Amino acid sequence: MDETVKKYTTRKEFFKQYKKKSRLQETWNRFLRNKTAVLGLFIFVFIMVVAAAAPLIANYDDEAIKINVPARLKGPSAEHIFDTDEMGRDILARIVHGAQISLVVGFSAVALALFIGGAFGAIAGYYGGKTDEIIMRCMDVFLCLPDVLLALAIVAAFGTNLVNMTVAIGLSFTPKFSRVVRSAVMTVRGIEYVEAARAIGSTNAHIITNHVLINCFGPIVVQVTLYVASAILTISALSFIGLGIQAPIPEWGNMLASGRAYMRDHAYIVVAPGLAIFVTILSLNLLGDGLRDALDPRLK
Amino acid sequence: MKKHVVFISLFLVLIMMATMLGGCGGSSKKPDAGAKSAATAKNPPKIAEPTKTVDPKANLNADITIVQQLDMVSFDPIATSDLSNRYIITNIYSYLFAQDRYLNSTPELAKSYKRLNDSTWQFEIHKGVKTHDGKELTADDVVYSLQRTQKGTAIGALFKPVDKISKVDDYTIQITTFGPYPALPTALTHVSCGIVPKHYLEKAEASKDWSNPIGTGRYKFKSRIIGDSVVMERFDGYFNKDDKALNKSLTFKIIPEGSGRTIAVETKKADLNVVFDTVDYDRVVGNANLQLWQHPSQLVWHLGYDNTNPNFKNKLVRQAINFAVDRKALMEVGHNGHGTVVFNNATFAPTCLGAVNNPGNKYSYDPEKAKALMKQAGVSGFDTEIIVFRDEAERMAVLVQSYLKVIGINATVKRIENAVFAQTIQAHKAPMFITSWGCYWDPDMFLARRFTKAGIGGVNRVWYQNPELDVMIDKARTISFDDKPRAEVYGQIQNFLAEEAPEADLYVNNMYALANKDLKGVEINVEMPHNYYKLHY
C-alpha cells in the first residue's frame, strides 16, 4: 500500500492511470491477448524479413536461377541445406526469392482489388439506391465466377507475365472488396458525424474519403490480410498449372510443379515449397482472424 | 555458408518466439535422404528380345493392364502419327505388314508379295480373314482403306512415290510407284495404313464417329473412357491361328505422372509400364519384384524451330543455336542421363542406315562460337517461345532457355496439350519446340516427310524445304535397291543438313519398359514397347 502511494508523486502521474486509452492501444492489447494471432503475426513478420533479406541469404542470379546440371539432386548438404532441385539450383535460395515474388504479387494484387473494389463499394454504399443496384449487380455477376477461373481467363487472354498475373488476381478479387467496403460504408454513413459534416456543407467526395472510409478501416484491414493469403494461393495454383509465373523465375507453385516428378527420392523438392505456401497462408489466416477479433470484439 | 547463418538465425528467433508464446510449436519435416542408397542393382535391366517360345504351362488367359503417359487421340488410323495413339489402335486393325523391332516390315495380312518390275508391286492377302463383326476381308477393303490413307495427311511423304492402288482379284492388290521405291513394304507398316473394313469405314467417314471401331486385328474394342482408359478383348476369330493374342484382354490406363506409373506396377495395379520415367531407375533395379526391360532406341529428342520464322530464317542463327546447347546436360535433365548424345540435324539415330554422328565434326557445345555466329549474322537477339507438351521436354526447355539467353535469345516456355501440338505447328505458332521423333532404320521413311514440301502439314514441323535436298532424297531412293550406295547418299544429306541446321538433334534416350517380374513376352522396338499381344504370365 505504501509503495503504491509512493509511486504517484505528481497529480499528472496519478491521473495517467485513469486516462482513457486510445482505440488503437485498446485494439492492440486485445490482439496481444490472442496467442494464436500473435503467433501468426510473428511467422508473417519472419516471412517478410526473410523475403526482404533474400539477397543476403542467397544470390538471385547465381543460386536461384542459374542452372548447374552437375549439382542436381545431390541431397541436403552444408552448402545446400534443403537439397538442390532438378536443375541443380539451391532450393532454399529459390524458396526465399520465391517469397519475395509471392508477397509482392499478393500484396499488389490485393492493393489493386482494394483500390478498384473499394472505390466502387464506397460509391455504392454511400449513395445507395440505383447507383448501388447497378454497381452491385455488376459485381454479383463477377462473384459468380470462382476467382481462380476468372484469373485464369484473364491470364489466358492477355498472356502470362508478372504484371498480367497481378492484374488478373487483383481484378478477380475486386467484387469481394467492393462488397466488404460497401457494407462497412453503409453502417457508417448514417452516423451523426457524417450528418454533421454534411450539415456544414462538406462535399460528398470529402465525406467519403475523410469521414466514412477512415472509419471503415477495421473490416478492410481484416479483409486485406485474408485475401493476401488467398492471392498467394491463387498465384501458386496458376503457376502450378503453368499459367502463372514462368520459368526460370522461382515461385512456389511452379517449383512444386517442376519438382513433383522427383518427389519420391528427393522429398525437399516439393516439401519445401509446399511448407512455404502452407506456413505463409496459415500465418496470414491466424493474423486475419486475430485482427478481426481485436478490431470488432462484438463479432467474437 | 555465411548466407545460411542469416537464415538459420532468423529461423531460430522465430522458433524461440513461438515456444515462448506457448502456442502450437512449428515442426519441420525430416527429409528422406537415405532413399538413394539402393545403388546396388539387385536385378539390372534385361534386354527385351522377341518372344520365340511359349511355356506350355503358361497362363494365356490373363487380363493385362498397361500404363502409358498420354491418352490416345482417335481410332481413325489416318488421324495422327502420335505414338500414344499408334500402339493402342494397332491392336484393333491389321496391316499388310507389321513392324519388327527395328521398325522394318514383317508380313501380316500379306501372304506373299512380288515386284513385277521396278515400279509395280503385287500383294496377295490371306484368305478367310474375318472382321470383328463376322464378315470376310477382301482386296476391296484393302484398296479402299489404302486409297483413303493416300489422301490423308498423316502419311504425307511416305506415300508420295505411290501412284495407283488397285485390285487385281479378290485376294490380290497391285501398287504402282513413280520410279523404284524400295521402302514400300516399310511404308505400309505406318499407322495410317491400318486396314479398316470398307462397310465400317464408309459409315465412319459419313458420321465421323470412330468411337466403336471394327477391324480385323487381334483385339476387339470393348470400351473407352476418354482421358482414363481403353479396354479391348481378344478376338478369337483372328485369321492367323499361330499368332493369336497370348492374353485375354488389354486395358490401357493413362497415368500422366512418371512415378505414378512406376507405383502402379509396384503395387500390381498394372502389369507393364510402357513409358518408364528414369527418375525411378535406381529404385526399380533394386526391387526384386520388378523387372526393367531395355532396348536401344531410335527415338531422337530434338530442338526444332520454324525455319520460316523471320528469327530463324538466317542459317547462322540456326547454327548458333546448335553450338549454344549442351546436349549432355539436356540428356541429364531430360532422361537422367539414360541415352546417347547425338550431333545431327536430320533426325538420324546412330543406328539408322548411313547414320553419321556429328557429320564433318561440325558441332560441339561451344557458347563462344555461338555468340560469334550470332554476331556474324548481325542478330543481337530476339524474343521467342519454346512449345512443349511433355514433362521431360518441359525440363529440357527450361535448360535450353538458359542456354539461349547466353546468346541473346529470350525464350519463354509454353506447355500445351499433346492433342493440339499438330495444330500449333500448322498455325506457325511454334517458333521453337522440343519433342521426340521415332525414326525408322531406312531414312527414306522419314527424310522426305520431315524436310520437304510433302511433309508440310504433316511432320515437317520445322517448315524446312530446299530443292537441292529434294534432289538428294530422290537420288537416295532411286539409286539402287542395295544399301551401300544409298548409305553414301545419306551421308551427303547429313552433311548438307548439318550446314543448313534445320533443327538441333540432342540425344537418343534408352528405351525401357517396367514390368511385374513374372510377366513374360515383353517386347520393345526402337521407339516404344510393342507387340502387347504377346504379354502373358
Task: Note the pLDDT tens digit of each residue in B167-192.
Answer: 999 999 999 999 888 889 999 999 99
> Between the CA of residue A88 and those of A249, A273, B324, B399, what are the distances in Å?
15, 16, 19, 11
CA dist., res. A282 & res. A41, Å (int): 10
Asked if B206 has any chain A CB less than 8 Å from its own CB, the reply is: no
Residue with cell 498397361: B66
| Candidate from A17-31, A128-142, B11-25, B384-398 with smallest mean pLDDT | B11-25
Kindly list the distances between the CA atom of residue A94 and the CA atoms of A60, A62, A112, A195, A281, in Å, as whole numbers in the listed order.
Answer: 8, 11, 26, 54, 18
Taking the C-alpha atoms of residue B295 and residue B279, their distance in angstroms, rounded to an integer, is 18
**Beta carbons of B1 and A263 less than 8 Å apart:** no
Query: Cis peptide before A248, with omega less than 30 degrees from 0?
Result: yes
The whole-angstrom separation of Cα A176 and Cα A160 is 24
Cell of A215: 472509419
Mutate to test the interface with A, among B6, B16, B257 (most CBs of A within 10 A): B6
Q: With CA atoms as reference, report the closest residue to B78 among B176, B163, B178, B147.
A: B147
Question: What is the three-class DSSP state of B508?
Answer: strand
Assign B129 to helix, strand or coil: coil
User: Out of A78, A96, A268, whose CB is closest to B1?
Assistant: A78
Residues of B in contact with A75 (CB under 8 A): 33, 36
Element of type H or E holding B441: none
CB-based contact (8 Å) between B27 and chain A?
no
* Residue for grid cell 462538406: A202
> Which of A35, A75, A279 lies closest to B23 in CB terms?
A35
Residue B63 pLDDT > 60: yes
List, as ranges, residues 92-151 from B with C-beta within 8 Å of A. Answer: none
Beta bridge partners of residue B272, listed in sequence order = B66, B515
**Which of A39, A87, A242 faces B21 most closely, judged by CB atoms?**
A39
Query: Given a cut of 60, is residue B157 above it in pLDDT?
Result: yes
Q: What is the pLDDT of residue A23?
A: 76
pTM for this one?
Answer: 0.79
Q: What is the pLDDT of residue A147?
A: 80
Domains of chain B from N-terminus onward: 46-65+218-296+512-534 (3.40.190.10), 90-207 (3.90.76.10), 297-509 (3.10.105.10)
Residues of chain B in contact with residue A56, where contact means CB-CB under 8 angstroms, are 3, 6
Alpha helix (H) residue ranges in A190-260: 192-199, 204-207, 217-240, 252-259
Residue for grid cell 534408352: B510
Look at residue A3 in the predicted model and tell me its pLDDT: 52
> Is B225 within 8 Å of chain A by CB?
no
Residue whose C-alpha cell reads 478490431 in the numeric block: A295
Average pLDDT over residues B209-219: 94
Tell me how far apart the alpha carbons of residues B328 and B315 are, in angstroms, rounded to a whole number: 24
**Residue of chain A whose alpha carbon sits nearest to that of B8:** A57
For residue A298, the model assigns a pLDDT of 67
Q: What is the pLDDT averaged over residues A274-281? A: 94
Q: pLDDT for A210-219, tens place per residue?
A: 888 888 888 8
Q: What is the CATH number of domain A46-60+92-299?
A: 1.10.3720.10
Residue A132 has pLDDT above 90, yes or no: yes
- What per-residue confidence (pLDDT) applies to B2? 47
In the predicted model, what is the mean pLDDT of residues B345-352? 92
Interface membership of A85 toward B (CB under 8 Å):
no
Q: Which residue of A has its CA nearest to B12?
A: A46
Predicted pLDDT at B4: 60
- Cell, residue A79: 552448402
Rounded Cα gap, residues B497 and B359, in angstroms: 9
Task: Name the residue among B11, B21, B333 with its Cβ closest to that of A87.
Answer: B333
The pLDDT assigned to A299 comes to 54
Print burial letters for A230-267: b (CB count within 10 Å at least 16), e (below 16). bbbbbbbbbbbebbbbbbbbbbbbbbbbbbbbbbbbbb
Q: Which residues of A touch B17 (CB under 8 A)?
A: 42
Closest residue of chain B to A249, computed from CA coordinates? B398
Angle ∠(B525,B253,B60) on CA atoms, nearest 5 = 65
Q: Say if the Cβ atoms of A53 and B6 lie within 8 Å.
A: yes
Sort out which chain B residues have CB atoms less than 8 A from A268's CB and list them.
31
Model ipTM value = 0.76
Query: Could you tell me the pLDDT band of residue B8, with boundaries at 50, 70 and 90?
Result: low
pLDDT at B166 over 50: yes
Q: How far is B73 from chain A (nearest CA, A)?
A: 22
Contacts of B326 in chain A (CB under 8 A): 69
Q: Which residue among A35, A39, A67 places its CB closest to the CB of B402?
A: A67
Chain A residues inside the 8 Å CB shell of B36: 75, 265
C-alpha distances out from residue A288 to A101, A264, A269, Å: 21, 35, 29
Sheet holding B120-125, edge to edge: B110-117, B120-125, B172-177, B162-169
Lowest mean pLDDT among A3-12, A206-215, B138-147: A3-12
Contact state of A262 with B279 under an 8 Å Cβ cutoff: yes
Shortest alpha-carbon distance between residue B24 and chain A (Å): 8
Q: Residue B321 has what pLDDT?
A: 96
Closest CA–CA distance from residue B372 to any residue of chain A (Å): 23
- Read off the C-alpha cell for A253: 507453385
Q: Evaluate whether A103 touches A221 at the Cβ level (below 8 Å).
A: no
The pLDDT of residue A5 is: 55
